[in-house]
């Protein structure tokens, strides 16, 4: 027991003396922190501006961010950037963010470290812009509502920014979708004006200070959650990219209770079923063609497609309006011209450049699987995705496949619209393989005719008549 603590202490000493890699908290303090929490949709977006200063003796190259465990679990995206240049030439440079661990974080708070481009010298300050997105953290209350009620949700957070550093000055703005706020926790100074709630200014907060708040407000935005999405992208070197997307959609808001009355829904649309949603918008690439929208039992006839030069929009309407807790599964499929997405890299490899994420707007995807089906005969597949994903290889069979097609499977959990950024899949492919399947068909037809000729010319009868 004793020895172990000794060893730990020793390790801590070593690490702190080594300095930069895991700078311990007291070296840095936050001069000012401003948090803007956007609660207007079902996805919570937080914009955080931090001004940090190095007060330690050594250089600091990392800045730590802390999250409570519940938030860390639902954290979809965490991006940090810093502004460089002055005024008009100001550009934001992204910084790398990695999860990290420290031994003395209280209550299981999760830490992420932002690596600065230029280490902060003693006494220097820097401004960091952080965006993080949290899903599934708006809790409907009451959990069950009837058709005529509107949906209220709870938002749990802390009035103070959870930080491993000493915070000098801090303020939080919370934006709600409407000014119907049922209740909110007061941590003075607290102020509410219209759709905005303000917590702060707070001064001189010690590290890891936390003061829970609850905001109870109306949110009738569609809580559309795709529980499972499988996107199949099939490459054909004959010029087509075929995409099939299998959705398992759910309304994750307050569950629908009791009757569903069509009369009410039809005649009083403004007060009946306001939290339900009828249609969703999917943004597809331009020049999309042969779009279909169907499910296990056939075509769904209610959808509209608008094709533009920049983007195409597909408005899909599930068979029935989705109330809280109702589910719908469906498939969207479309074709795309290959030259828009398939390129050749300088080293002779082909690569597909396609958008990750879900084409539906403002939708959370719990589990996303992307299957890139490479043409038959392609070799050495590899992928480049801007965030960590699980990947594996499979073999799929389509029309006239003999050896099967190599398929790159990418899996990721908790996807938000901000994940719609391109990823690449590289592979080697010899165009001669394109001819394999036509040749197979040609030879089959040829053999058939040969068989016909042979049959007409051969007399198989035993007895001559």
Partner 1 sequence: MGAKAENGVKPTPLASPSSSPFPSLKALKLKTKQQELLIRVSALALIYVLAFAVRLFSVLRYESMIHEFDPYFNYRTTLFLTKNGFYEFWNWFDSESWYPLGRIIGGTLFPGLMVTAALIYRALRFLTFAVHIREVCVLTAPFFASNTTLVAYFFGKEIWDAGAGLAAAALIAICPGYISRSVAGSYDNEGVAIFALLLTFYLFVKAVNTGSLAWGLASAFGYFYMVSAWGGYVFIINLVPLYVLVLLITGRYSMRLYVAYNCMYILGMLLAMQIRFVGFQHVQSGEHMAALGVFFLMQVFYFVDWVKYIINDPKLFHSFLRITLTSAIIVGALALGVGMATGYISPWAGRFYSLLDPTYAKDHIPIIASVSEHQPTAWSSFMFDFHILLFLFPAGLYFCFKRLSDATIFIVMYGLTSMYFAGVMVRLILVATPAVCLISSIALSATIKNLTTLIRKKSKAAQTFSTKGISSLKASAKASLDQALPFQRNVAIALLVGAFYLLGRYAIHCTWVTSEAYSSPSIVLAARSAHGGRVIFDDYREAYFWLRQNTPPDAKVMSWWDYGYQITAMGNRTVIVDNNTWNNTHIATVGRAMSSYEDEAYEIMQSLDVDYVLVVFGGVTGYSSDDINKFLWMVRIGGGVFPVIKEPDYLVNGEYRVDKGAAPKMLNCLMYKLSYYRFGELTTEYGKPTGYDRARGVEIGNKDIKLEYLEEAFTTSNWIVRIYKVKPPKNRW
123 binds partner 1 (CB under 8 A): no
Closest to partner 1 by CB, 5 vs 299, is 299
How many CB atoms are closer than 10 A to CB 438?
Answer: 11
Q: Choose one: 12-20, 24-32, 296-304, 381-389; the region binding partner 1 (CB under 8 A).
A: 296-304
Which one of 87, 262, 457, 463 is in contact with partner 1 (CB under 8 A)?
A: 262
Residue recorded with tokens 């299998």: 246
Which one of 5, 270, 301, 465 is in contact with partner 1 (CB under 8 A)?
A: 301
Closest to partner 1 by CB, 86 vs 399, is 399
The C-alpha atoms of residue 406 and residue 418 are separated, in whole angstroms, by 29
Which one of 57, 259, 432, 460 is in contact with partner 1 (CB under 8 A)?
A: 259
Rounded to a whole number of angstroms, the minimum distance from the CB of residue 299 to partner 1 is: 4
Q: Choose one: 107-115, 219-227, 322-330, 424-432; the region binding partner 1 (CB under 8 A).
A: 322-330
193 binds partner 1 (CB under 8 A): no
Rounded to a whole number of angstroms, the minimum distance from the CB of residue 77 to partner 1 is: 30
Q: Choose one: 34-42, 49-57, 232-240, 290-298; the region binding partner 1 (CB under 8 A).
A: 290-298
Per-residue contact track with partner 1, 329 to 348, x per CB under 8 A?
x-------------------
379 binds partner 1 (CB under 8 A): no
310 binds partner 1 (CB under 8 A): no
Residues 6+ apart with CB under 8 A from 235: 241, 338, 342, 352, 372, 373, 374, 375
260 binds partner 1 (CB under 8 A): yes
Closest to partner 1 by CB, 301 vs 309, is 301
225 binds partner 1 (CB under 8 A): no
Query: By the 8 A CB rule, do 135 and 416 touch?
Result: yes
Alpha carbon separation from 1 to 13, 27, 105 (Å, rounded) = 18, 30, 21
Rounded to a whole number of angstroms, the minimum distance from the CB of residue 149 to partner 1 is: 17
5 binds partner 1 (CB under 8 A): no
Rounded to a whole number of angstroms, the minimum distance from the CB of residue 259 to partner 1 is: 5
Rounded to a whole number of angstroms, the minimum distance from the CB of residue 319 to partner 1 is: 4
227 binds partner 1 (CB under 8 A): no
The closest of 243, 250, 251 to 291, measured between CA atoms, is 243
How many CB atoms are closer than 10 A to CB 233?
Answer: 21
Count of chain residues binding partner 1 (CB under 8 A): 29
Question: Sign of dihedral through CA atoms 441, 443, 444, 445?
Answer: positive
Write out the two tokens for 228: 């499972």
246 binds partner 1 (CB under 8 A): no
Rounded to a whole number of angstroms, the minimum distance from the CB of residue 350 to partner 1 is: 23
327 binds partner 1 (CB under 8 A): yes
φ, ψ dihedrals at 436, nearest 5°: -60, -45
319 binds partner 1 (CB under 8 A): yes
* Site residues (CB under 8 A) for partner 1, limited to 390-449: 397-402
295 binds partner 1 (CB under 8 A): yes
306 binds partner 1 (CB under 8 A): no
258 binds partner 1 (CB under 8 A): yes
The closest of 364, 318, 360, 317 to 223, measured between CA atoms, is 364
Question: Sign of dihedral through CA atoms 13, 19, 22, 25?
Answer: positive
The C-alpha atoms of residue 342 and residue 285 are separated, in whole angstroms, by 14
Interface positions with partner 1 (CB under 8 A): 258-263, 266-267, 295-302, 319-320, 325-329, 397-402
């Amino acid at each position: 027991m004793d020895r172990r603590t000794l060893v730990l202490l020793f390790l801590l000493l070593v690490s702190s003396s080594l300095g930069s890699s895991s700078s311990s908290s007291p070296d840095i303090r936050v001069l000012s922190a401003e948090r803007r929490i956007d609660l207007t949709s079902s996805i919570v977006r937080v914009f955080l501006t931090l001004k940090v200063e190095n007060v330690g003796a050594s250089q600091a190259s990392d800045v730590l961010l802390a999250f409570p465990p519940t938030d860390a679990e639902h954290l979809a995206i965490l991006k940090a950037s810093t502004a460089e240049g002055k005024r008009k030439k100001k550009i934001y440079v992204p910084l790398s963010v990695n999860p990290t661990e420290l031994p003395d974080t209280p209550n299981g708070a999760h830490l992420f470290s932002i690596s600065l481009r230029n280490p902060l010298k003693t006494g220097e300050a820097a401004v960091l812009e952080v965006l993080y997105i949290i899903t599934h953290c708006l809790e409907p209350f009451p959990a069950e509502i009837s058709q005529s009620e509107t949906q209220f949700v709870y938002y749990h957070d802390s009035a103070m920014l959870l930080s491993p550093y000493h915070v000098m000055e801090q303020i939080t703005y919370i934006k709600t979708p409407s000014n119907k706020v049922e209740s909110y926790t007061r941590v003075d100074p607290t102020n509410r004006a219209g759709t905005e709630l303000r917590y702060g200014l707070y001064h001189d907060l010690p590290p890891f200070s936390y003061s829970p708040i609850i905001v109870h407000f109306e949110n009738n935005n569609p809580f559309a959650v795709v529980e499972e999405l499988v996107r199949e992208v099939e490459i054909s070197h004959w010029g087509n990219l075929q995409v099939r997307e299998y959705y398992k959609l759910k309304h994750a808001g307050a569950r629908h209770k009791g009757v569903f009355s069509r009369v009410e829904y039809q005649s009083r649309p403004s007060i009946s079923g306001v939290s339900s949603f009828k249609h969703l918008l999917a943004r597809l690439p331009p020049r999309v063609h042969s779009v279909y929208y169907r499910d296990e039992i056939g075509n769904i006839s209610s959808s509209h497609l608008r094709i533009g030069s920049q983007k195409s929009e597909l408005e899909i309407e599930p068979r029935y309006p989705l109330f809280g807790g109702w589910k719908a599964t469906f498939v969207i499929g479309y074709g795309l011209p290959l030259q828009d997405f398939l390129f050749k890299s300088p080293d002779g490899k082909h690569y597909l450049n396609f958008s990750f994420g879900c084409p539906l707007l403002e939708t959370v995807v719990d589990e996303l699987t992307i299957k890139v089906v490479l043409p038959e005969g392609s070799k050495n597949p590899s992928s480049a995705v801007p965030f960590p994903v699980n990947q594996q290889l499979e073999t799929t069979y389509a029309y006239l496949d003999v050896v099967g097609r190599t398929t790159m499977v990418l899996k990721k959990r908790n996807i938000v619209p901000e994940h719609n950024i391109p990823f690449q899949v590289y592979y080697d492919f010899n165009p001669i393989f394109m001819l394999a399947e036509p040749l197979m068909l040609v030879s089959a037809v040829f053999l058939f005719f040969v068989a016909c000729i042979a049959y007409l010319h051969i007399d198989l009868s035993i007895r001559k008549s």
